[in-house]
C-alpha cells in the first residue's frame, strides 16, 4: 500500500484517534440526553450508560471466546 504525506500550512485534520473519541463522546452525550434514556435512568437510580452501539453496524467478533481445535 502506498502512502503519501503532505505538510499542511493550516495544520490538517485532528488525528483519527481523536476524531473517533470525539464521535463516541458525542454519541454518549446524545444518548444520555434522549428522553427515553432519561426515563430509564430515573427509574433505575445508579444505572449508567457503559456502551452505545449502532444496530446498523455489526458488533466486532471476539475470537478469544471461541473454542479452538
Summarised one tens digit per residue, pLDDT across range 18-57 is: 999 999 999 999 999 999 999 999 999 999 999 888 777 7
Q: How far apart are CA 3 and CA 58, in angstroms?
A: 29
Predicted confidence at residue 52, as pLDDT, reads: 85
Domain definitions of the chain by residue range: 16-50
More confident residue, 64 or 23: 23
Taking the whole predicted model, whether its pTM rises above 0.75 is answered as: no
> Which residues does 48 contact at the CB level (< 8 Å), separation at least 6?
41
Give, for 28, the enclosing helix (H) or strand (E): helix 16-33
Q: Hey, what's the cell of 44?
A: 433505575
What does DSSP assign to residue 64? Answer: G
Three-state secondary-structure class, residue 48: coil
Predicted confidence at residue 30, as pLDDT, reads: 93
Amino acid at each position: 500500500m502506498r502512502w503519501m504525506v503532505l505538510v499542511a500550512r493550516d495544520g490538517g485534520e485532528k488525528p483519527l484517534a481523536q476524531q473517533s473519541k470525539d464521535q463516541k463522546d458525542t454519541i454518549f452525550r446524545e444518548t444520555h440526553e434522549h428522553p427515553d434514556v432519561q426515563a430509564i435512568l430515573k427509574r433505575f437510580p445508579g444505572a449508567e450508560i457503559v456502551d452505545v452501539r449502532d444496530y446498523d453496524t455489526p458488533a466486532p467478533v471476539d475470537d478469544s471466546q471461541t473454542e479452538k481445535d
